[in-house]
A and B are shown apart, each in its own frame.
Chain A
Amino acid sequence: MNYLDANFIAALHFNIAGHTDLAETFVRKAPLPFVVSGLGELECRRAFIRRAGHSQSENWLRFQERLDGGAWLRLDVEWAKAEDRAAALMEKLRVKVNCGTLDILHVALAQMAGCTWFLSFDTNSNARVLAASARLKVYPELSPSEKGRVVH
C-alpha cells in the first residue's frame, strides 16, 4: 500500500510547482491502494484551511470525497500502538536520523498500515530519510544528500 504524507495529498489538490506533476505521475501508475492516516488528514485540514481561508474549499471537498467514497483508505490512528511503534523507531534510528515527533509518527503509521511506499515531498525534515531507514520505499526518489543520511 502507499502511505500519503500530508504534503503529497496537498500536491494532489493544489497546483504546486514541482510537486503536482510528480504526484500525478505516481498516482496514475500506482496499482496498490492509498492510505491516509488520521494524522495526515488533520495536517491537511489545517493546511487547506490556512490556504483557502475557510473549511469548505473545493480542494478539501475533493479530498474528502476520495476518503468517504472509499477510493482512498482512511487509517484510524490507534494511538497506543502508534506510540509504541514511534518509540521503537526512536530507539533504533533517531540517534542517527534527526527527525521531529510528527514525522516519526507518520513513518510509524506507514509501517503499521503495512505500506510499501512512503510518498512525501518533505525535504525540510528528515521524514523521507527516516522512512528509507525504516525500509520503506520513498517517492520521489531520495536526493544524493538524503541517501547519504539513510541508516542501513
Chain B
Amino acid sequence: MKAIEVKAREFHRRTAWALETARKGTPIVIISKGHPPLTLRAGTPEDRQRSVVDWDSHFAWLHAQPVSAVNPVDEARASEDR
C-alpha cells in the first residue's frame, strides 16, 4: 500500500482531494512541523487495530529461530557479480 505525504498547508488547500484519495485506499500522511504526523486512511479503528503489528508475538517467534551469522540480504548482495 503506497502513501502520499502532504504538508498541513497543502492538506487544508486540497481537503476534498485528500478525502477522496484516502477513500480510494491510498493513505494520506499529513506532516506539520512540531507535531506528530497524522494519517488519513479508509476503515474503522478496528481495521487499524488489525494492521498494528503484534511485536511481542513476532519477536517470540523470531528469537526461537536458529541464529544466523550473516544477513541474507548482505549475502545476496555480495553474490551479485555484475
Closest to B70 in A: A16
A69 / chain B contacts, CB cutoff of 8 Å: 50-51
Known contacts A1-B29, A1-B37; A122 and B72 CB within 8 A of each other: no
**What is the predominant secondary structure among interface residues of chain B facing chain A?**
mixed
Distance in angstroms from A75 CB to nearest chain B CB is 6
The reply on B74 being an interface residue by CB < 8 A is yes
Distance in angstroms from B30 CB to nearest chain A CB is 11
- Taking a contact as CB atoms under 8 Å apart, the answer to whether B3 and A15 are in contact is no
Give A65 to B61 CA distance when docked, in angstroms.
15
Task: Spot the interface stretch: A44-52, A89-97, A131-139.
Answer: A44-52
Which residues in chain B, 53-80, are within 8 Å of chain A measured between CB atoms? 53, 55, 58-59, 61-63, 65-79
The reply on A146 being an interface residue by CB < 8 A is no
**What is the predominant secondary structure among interface residues of chain A facing chain B?**
mixed
Give A91 to B66 CA distance when docked, in angstroms.
43
Q: Which residues of B approach A to under 8 Å, CB–CB?
A: 1-3, 5, 27, 29, 31, 36-37, 39, 41, 50-53, 55, 58-59, 61-63, 65-79
Give A70 to B27 CA distance when docked, in angstroms.
9
- Taking a contact as CB atoms under 8 Å apart, the answer to whether A14 and B77 are in contact is no
Which residues in chain A, 100-145, are within 8 Å of chain B measured between CB atoms? 113-114, 121-122, 124-125
- Taking a contact as CB atoms under 8 Å apart, the answer to whether A15 and B67 are in contact is yes
- Taking a contact as CB atoms under 8 Å apart, the answer to whether A47 and B75 are in contact is yes
- Taking a contact as CB atoms under 8 Å apart, the answer to whether A124 and B71 are in contact is no
Other-chain residue from B3, B36, B77 in contact with A124 (beta carbon distance below 8 A): B77
A67 / chain B contacts, CB cutoff of 8 Å: 1
Give A5 to B39 CA distance when docked, in angstroms.
22
